[in-house]
């Protein structure tokens, strides 16, 4: 089922976390943040919305890293119900798409809950002080990739945050598959 993200709560502070990455180490917020901000992305391997944008995402993230924005992708889905999102498959997915950023496993789903993540992809763009400045989409893509010349909403917003510390006042929500929550 397709879900849209809520509006940006400007200034909301990023909750800290410590999660294992596919690179074999644990990462926390302080290690991930860049001098000009941090982009936290909730994604997964199997979602058609993520699959439609992953190559554009890798392109845009690489350019944002060059602007001093730290980046991390978190996978919070229930892997027992969705084995395509397993840790081993996270490694393969990241290698196949050339991830230049940590890909972290939120097995307990506590981080997704703390952030209020609702779908994949769900983007949280923070300024240098870890205040939320962007909660929107990558671009006009949905279950299929948008036009080649689609406006790069996420890139433009985070480049603005990196340069000014402030995100755009108008943001279009991201849309994707709901987070696959564990039965508790």
Helix (H) / strand (E) containing 123: strand 122-126
Would you say 117 and 180 are in contact if contact means Cβ atoms under 8 Å apart?
no
Q: Give CA–CA dist 22/111, Å, rounded.
A: 17
Residue 176 pLDDT greater than 70, yes or no: yes
- Tokens for 113, please give them: 């809950």
pLDDT band at residue 90, thresholds of 50, 70 and 90?
very high
- 3 state DSSP class of 41: strand
Number of structural domains the chain divides into: 1
The answer to whether residue 63 sits within a structural domain is yes
Taking each helix axis from N to C end, the angle separating 87-97 and 48-66, rounded to the nearest 10 degrees, works out to 60
What would the pLDDT profile of 94-134 be if each residue is shown by its tens digit?
Answer: 999 999 999 999 999 999 999 999 999 999 999 999 999 99
172: domain range? Answer: 2-178
**pLDDT, tens digit, for every residue of 3-59?**
888 889 999 999 999 999 999 999 999 999 999 999 999 999 999 999 999 999 999
What does pTM read for this prediction?
0.96
What's the CATH number where 91 sits?
Answer: 3.40.30.10
Q: What is the pLDDT of residue 1?
A: 61
In a domain, 183, yes or no: no
Q: What is the pLDDT of residue 5?
A: 87
């Amino acid at each position: 089922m397709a879900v849209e993200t809520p509006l940006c709560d400007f200034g909301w502070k990023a909750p800290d976390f410590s999660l294992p990455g596919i690179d074999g180490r644990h990462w926390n917020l302080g290690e991930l943040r860049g001098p000009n901000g941090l982009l936290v992305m909730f994604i997964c391997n199997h979602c058609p919305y993520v699959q439609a944008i992953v190559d554009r995402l890798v392109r845009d993230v690489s350019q944002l890293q060059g602007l001093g924005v730290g980046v991390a992708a978190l996978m919070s889905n229930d892997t027992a119900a969705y084995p395509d999102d397993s840790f081993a498959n996270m490694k393969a997915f990241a290698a196949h798409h050339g991830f230049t950023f940590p890909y972290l496993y939120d097995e307990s789903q506590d981080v997704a809950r703390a952030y209020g993540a609702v779908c994949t992809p769900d983007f949280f763009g923070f300024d240098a002080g870890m205040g939320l400045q962007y909660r929107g989409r990558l671009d006009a893509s949905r279950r299929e990739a948008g036009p080649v010349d689609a406006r790069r909403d996420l890139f433009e917003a985070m480049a603005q945050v990196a340069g000014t510390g402030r995100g755009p006042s108008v943001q279009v929500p991201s849309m994707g598959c709901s987070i696959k929550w564990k039965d508790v």
